[in-house]
Structure 1
């Protein structure tokens, strides 16, 4: 759902789509906030909880 009264950033939507594709193609990886293609993704770990 999206509230049409709130502005959207096409760049952010594209970044999120690319991150979704990346994690689908790389099981066990997660993309942190502001991740961009080419940047390092993180390995899934309980040690990350509360640190991001």
Structure 2
């Protein structure tokens, strides 16, 4: 199963999704951002979601 996930990721067909959001206001944030563009909080959460 790990091999199948690796092949899908290389081909851009991964079942995984990275969700990055502000812990303060819940806005979606760019993965490289150091603060939220909406509320300027530096509390950024990243969730690796498997579908």
What TM-score comes out, normalization by structure 2 length?
0.31
Structure of greater relative contact order (alpha carbons < 8 Å, 6+ residues apart): 2
Query: Which of these two proteins has the greater Rg computed from alpha carbons?
Result: 2
More helix by share: 1
What TM-score comes out, normalization by structure 1 length?
0.31
